[in-house]
Every structure is written in C-alpha cells, then in structure tokens.
Structure 1
Amino acid sequence: MLRLRECVVSRLLSWPSTSPICSLRRLLSTTASAAPISPNPSSFAVEEYLVATCGLTQPQAVKASKKLSHLKSPAKPNAVLALLAGLGLSGADAAAVVAKDPRLLCAKVDKTLAPVIAGLTGLGLSSPEIGQLVSLARTRFRCRPVVPRLQYYLPLFGSFDNFLRLLKRESNLLSIDLDKVVKPNVVFLRECGLGDCDIAKLSIRVPRMLITNLERVRAMVARAETLGVPRRSGMLKEALQAVAFLSEEKIAAKLDYLKNTFRWSDAEACIAVRKYPCVLKKSKESLKRKSEFLVSEVGLEPVSIAHRPVVLSLSLEGRLRPRYYVIKFLKENGLLDRDPSLYSAVNMTEKVFMKKLISPHKEAAPHLAEDYATACKGEVPTNFRFM
C-alpha cells in the first residue's frame, strides 16, 4: 500500500501547477497524518473512518460502509478526499458527496478522477465549478463520458450555470445517451423553429424534455399545433411548456374548466390558449379566484379576458387587486385626467405605475402610496384613505 501511495503521489507531481490536482501533493501529507495506514490491513475500520475522517453521521456511515467492505486501508479514500478539498469542497460538502456515492472513495485518483478533471479543465471549467459538478453528478462524475457530454451541453445551454440549473432538476442528464436521445430531440426542436436559447429555457422549465424519447417530443409538438400554436411560432416554447407530458384527455378537461369558469365559447377558449398557453398550467383554484375578481367584481367581459389572457399570469393579491383599487379610488375622487384600463395599469412596471398613478397625487391623496403598499401585501384596506 505504501508503494501504491508513492505511485499516486509521483503521478500527481507531473500535473501542471495550474491544475486543480496540484493541491493534492500538499494535502496528501495532511490526510496521511490524520488517518495513517495501518500495518495490519484487517484492522481498518470503515465505519469509524467514514465518521471520523469523512464527516458522515453514524447512520450514513453504516449505510455507506456496506458498499466499502472491501477497503483494507485509507490510501484511496485519503487521496480522494484530498482531491475534493483541492476542488474547494468544504468538509460538509465532501461528506454529502461521499454519503451519496460511497464508492467514490474507491476511485483511482490518477487513472480515473484526474483525467476527468483534466478534461473538464480543458473545457474552461474552474476548480469551484468542477466541485459543483462533483456534488451534483454523483456516480456519473467517475465516468469519462462526462467530459464529451459537457462539451456538447455547455454551448447548447450557453453557460455552466444554466447547465447546473437543469442538472439540479434532472440528475439523469449526464447518463442519457447523447447520440440516441438528446441530439435527435435537439435537432427536431431546431427544425420546429426553436433556437438553442429557447431549447435551454424550455429544458430548464421542463427537465425531462431533452431526455425523453423523440416520439414523445413529436407528440408534444403535435398537441401544441392542435391548440393553434404552429411550428416556428413565437409561442411554441410556451405551448410546449404547457402541454409537456399532459395527455389529450387532461388538456381537454382543462379547456372545459376554462370555458365554464370564464364563460368562454370554444372559440374564445382557443384564442386564450393560443395567446397564453401556460394558462393550461394554472391551478383550478387560482383560475376560479381570478374569474370571480375580474368578471364578478371588476366587471370585465369574458371575451375581453380571452383576448388578453396574459392578465391571468399576474398575481391576484400582489398586482391585480391592489392596482384595481388604486384606479377605482382615483376615479371615485376625480383625480384622473384620463381613464386607464385595468389591462394597461396591471401591465406597467412597478416603477412606471408609481410614476404615473401614485406620485402625481401625493398632495391630494397623501396616504395613497401607503395604502397601495399595504394592499400589495395582501392587506387591502376597506377604503383607500383620501385624507
């Protein structure tokens, strides 16, 4: 084992100083003193090592040790822990990695992990970024295909951060066959008019989109077309997000609910979905409450809402109701030169809304800004105060 350790160290010494691996040379001596190699291999206690050196809890150590029963010394684990420290992982982060993938401690640093890290460094990833990848990729980090897969994904997603966002939501991303699954899906989506930026955003919102089979992706596009959103439409990305993995029966049921809730005809429901496909993803309770407010309280015509369905994407408590009460207050007190529609008012940015409808009335309605702020917290006062 001592000869093995000397071999590992000698291989690591050949790495350039700019590599994440170079820190191993400094860290190995520390880990060696913390957990010396026993002259009697049979005396190596895996559970004790996992708790004392790796930082696992006792239950975690008991579970992990079942996969490490063949370990007879801390030589490989020490080298792996030094590698993780060199990548910037804290003790707690390293413990989490080991708990998820105990067999990582058995990996050969020089023959398995170092080449992967060298490949990722060649793609432009920094040590902290590689450390993040280790934490999320689990067993797949130990496989060399991780490098060519990152080489494909990074340009597609535009940045490492975007890739990580998807990996956090879909841990199987690095294990799916690129040539048989991912690339055909990407090619088809491009043929439908989506750019790489659109594909990246769609995949982050619908993580399974890239890793499902091509026929299912084709079926999703077909359902979007049935709803009136054709290929190469600017709304296709939103439509795919809305219908992804929904059966035709569930989509039909949601359309029926929309028609009943907003008193829409078939044609009006189609207009609303075509203009705002994600209305299909809204909860029934949310839609019911917005219908009661917009139709029953505000008095908007159902057909009007169908032609401006984006209003259904806005928060009832945080935007629709507070801004409606501001407009209502200003109208009742004769403070409006022009009569803005609710649609224009709720679509303004907060800065523009304050500038156009709150600030001009500081003297006539000194409490308006305060009452509006209160309303935005969901605490709508019975009446906005005039004085």
Structure 2
Amino acid sequence: MIRVQIHLSSLLFNPTKPNLSFRYVYTIKPPKPSFITDYLINSLGLSPDRAAKAAQRLAHIRDARRPDSVRHFLKHLGLTDSHIQTLVSWCPILLSADLATTLQPNAAALQAHGFSGPLLVHLVRSNPFVLISDGVLPRLHFWKDFFRNDEKSLLKVFRRNRYLVHYDIAEKIAPNIELLRGYGFSDRDIGIVVMRINGFITRSPEAIKELIERTMELGFSCGSGMFLQGLSVVGMRRGEALEMKMEFFKKLGWSEDESQSAFKKNPKVLSLRVENIQSKLDFLMGEAGLDPSSIAKMPLLLTYSLEKRLRPRFLVLDMLKSHELLKRGCNVNTAMSLSDEEFMDKFVVPFKDVVPQLDEVHLSSY
C-alpha cells in the first residue's frame, strides 16, 4: 500500500509559483499466517517461531485432511501428542506423508519384520524417517544384527544418527567398518563410536582417517582404553576449536607432555569451553593455591562444577586444615571425586561438632 503526502507550505507563501513536494510513505501490511502455520500452532501446540519454520516445508498443505490423518495414524501406533509435536518440529515433512502409499505400508512392513509395539514407537520417536524413507528394512536389520539384537543400542544409534537410514550398507557403511577394523577396532568399539559421535560412520573414509590420526597426535594410543573417549571428543569438535584449546593450555604453562598426559587421563577436558575452564583455573590457582603442573596431574578437577563441588569442598578442607584436623597426605583429587555422601561421611560428619561451620559450607553447594 502506498500513501502520498503533499506539502503545501510553499504554496501558501507563493501561490503564483507553487512548489509542491511529494513524499511517498510505504505501509507494509504483515502477511497473514498461512493455513498450515495456524494449524501447527492451534492443533499441534507449536510455538509461533517453530510453526513458521516448519510451515516452510509444508506450504503446499491447504486443509487439515492430510495432517489430521497423519496425527491419527501416529496416535494409533502409540505416540502421544507431545511425541508428535516434537517430531513435527524437526521433521515437518512427516505431516505431509501419504497415509495409503507411505505410512501404512511402511509401518506394516516394519511390524512384520519384528519392529512392532514399544520398539516401533521408540524407533519412530528416535528417527521418523523409518516411516517415510525407502529401503529402510535391510538397513535396520543390518544394524540390529550388528548390535546383536540389543534394542537399547539400536535406538540410541538411530537417535544419535537421524539420517543413518538413508545410507546404503554395501556402498557406505561396510567400507567404513572395514576401515575401522583395519585400525584395530573391535565391533564393540565401532558400536560405541557410532553411538557417541553423530554422523561418524557416514563420513568419508578420508575424514574418518583424519579423526583417528588427530586423536593419536594428542597422545592417545589406538587400541588403548582411553582412545575411544579421545576420539569421541575429537569427533565432536572442529579442528580449529581443538587447536585453540591446545594453545590455551600452552599459555597456561602446560608443557606438551603435561597436556598429553592430562588429555589421556581425562579427554573430557578438551570438550569444555575456555570460559568454563578459566573460571575454575582462577579459583584453583588463586584461592586453592594449586600450580598449573598440579592441575595437569589432576585434570578431573576441571570437569567438576565450580560452585557445586570445587569451591565448597575446598572450603571444607581448608577449615579442617586450619584446625589441624586434616590428615597429612590427603589427596585433593580423591576428595573431589568422592560422592556427596562419601565426602560428608569422611570430611564433615566426624568434625561438625568441633567445626560447626562445616555443615553450613557443604550444604551451600545444594
């Protein structure tokens, strides 16, 4: 819509030579929500933002017949309204699937091959593509056999790798499995990695080799107990992010040997944000008085919550030390790794009559 405004001030002062000025004002009316956007909000309960995003994939739907039939079918399988809402949020095309040619025959085929009842419900919740993709059954059978009919592992794999059902076993999956076996991975190791790292087994052989070699460069020995944990961290982080983390620890004062030793003891350190690590280091090297080398020997400290574990427990230990109640040789790392109940029994309960503040300090972490 365009409105025209005419300024007549010059005409009033000089009527013989009017100097009219025009200004065009554009008024844009917000577009009306589409039918499917309203449907997603009012019938499924999606937020306006999620509904608008999902509606981009469903703009061709003009009435409620198909989405209603899909919802009814999914409920018949055993999914709740909450399940359907979640599925449509990240897989909108599910709502546009044809009941007679896609959903019903695919579900019937899955049920006929043992994927029925609660297993089918959990499988659809983990990965709705099993209902709308072609060639799913052979791939499901392959992974079910690979995990020796362990349904929990199977569901975890398809929840972690939502597009896994799209990948051909012979062309894509089998060569990568053989590659990993060539590095000494057992089938159990492969299963763990597939469950932990999103999209790992569907990457190119070159990308998989690069991740393995990068993990080895960090000091993890291929085949060691900690290698899979290291690979999981490396596989979920971009190379640039890992380089920045390594540089951060170098500036902290860790030598290359100390860094590798710390990472091998606890690879999770590599997954922490720099800001998270820095706040803990400020406390550990400040109030707690630990030096960088000591922290490198106890990297588990960096994985604990500062406010819920490190600070209150250090205060308890410091109080005991000031009252000469802390035994010599008390290992800080051990004290931090104890469960709350174990820490309470060992460092709080025996001394709270002598140092009443202990109980208060420890409970402040809750």
TM over 0.5: yes
In the alignment, structure 1 residue 238 sits paired with structure 2 residue 229: yes
| 1:150 to partner: Cα distance | 1.8
Percent of residue pairs bearing the same amino acid type:
29
Of 233, 242, 246, which residue of structure 2 is paired with 1:251?
A: 242
Match runs of 1:206-217 below 5 Å: 206-217=197-208
Of 247, 259, 265, which residue of structure 1 is paired with 2:255?
A: 265
Point out the more displaced range, 90-99 or 249-258. Answer: 90-99
Which whole-Å CA distance do the structure 2 matches of 1:221 and 1:92 have between them? 39
Q: Give the corresponding residue for 2:8.
A: none
Of 136, 141, 144, which residue of structure 2 is paired with 1:151?
A: 141
Q: Show structure 2 runs of 5+ residues with no match.
A: 1-34
Q: Is the 8 A contact 1:276 1:309 kept in 2?
A: yes
| 1:352 to partner: Cα distance | 1.8
Point out the more displaced range, 338-347 or 238-247. Answer: 238-247
Match runs of 1:180-329 below 5 Å: 180-244=171-235, 246=237, 250-261=241-252, 263-329=253-319
Which whole-Å CA distance do the structure 2 matches of 1:295 and 1:260 have between them? 14
Kindly provide the amino acid, as one letter, of the partner of residue 258 in structure 1: F
Pair 1:275–1:80, CA change in 2 (3 A): closer
In the alignment, structure 1 residue 176 sits paired with structure 2 residue 167: yes
Q: Give the corresponding residue for 1:116.
A: 106
| 1:337 to partner: Cα distance | 4.1
Secondary structure at the aligned position of 1:300 is classed as coil
Which whole-Å CA distance do the structure 2 matches of 1:332 and 1:63 have between them? 65
Which whole-Å CA distance do the structure 1 matches of 2:262 and 2:214 have between them? 16
Of 339, 353, 358, which residue of structure 2 is paired with 1:363?
A: 353
- Give the number of equivalent residue pairs: 323
Kindly provide the amino acid, as one letter, of the partner of residue 106 in structure 1: D
Of 98, 101, 107, which residue of structure 1 is paired with 2:93?
A: 101
The TM-score, its normalising length taken from structure 2, stands at 0.73
Which whole-Å CA distance do the structure 2 matches of 1:250 and 1:102 have between them? 35
Which whole-Å CA distance do the structure 2 matches of 1:255 and 1:314 have between them? 20
Q: Give the corresponding residue for 2:131.
A: 141
Point out the more displaced range, 284-293 or 211-220. Answer: 284-293
Kindly provide the amino acid, as one letter, of the partner of residue 296 in structure 2: A
| 1:51 to partner: Cα distance | 5.2
Secondary structure at the aligned position of 1:230 is classed as coil
Kindly provide the amino acid, as one letter, of the partner of residue 239 in structure 1: G
Q: Is the 8 A contact 2:94 2:132 kept in 1?
A: no
Structure 1, residues 13-43: CA drift from partner, whole Å, max 9, x if none?
xxxxxxxxxxxxxxxxxxxxxxxxxxxxxxx
| 1:330 to partner: Cα distance | 0.9
Which whole-Å CA distance do the structure 1 matches of 2:293 and 2:71 have between them? 64
Point out the more displaced range, 191-200 or 213-222. Answer: 191-200
The TM-score, its normalising length taken from structure 1, stands at 0.70
Pair 1:149–1:342, CA change in 2 (3 A): same
Higher RCO (C-alpha under 8 Å, 6+ residues apart): 1
| 1:146 to partner: Cα distance | 1.8
| 1:81 to partner: Cα distance | 5.3
Q: Give the corresponding residue for 2:362.
A: 372
In the alignment, structure 1 residue 345 sits paired with structure 2 residue 354: no
Point out the more displaced range, 277-286 or 115-124. Answer: 115-124
Which whole-Å CA distance do the structure 2 matches of 1:181 and 1:323 have between them? 50
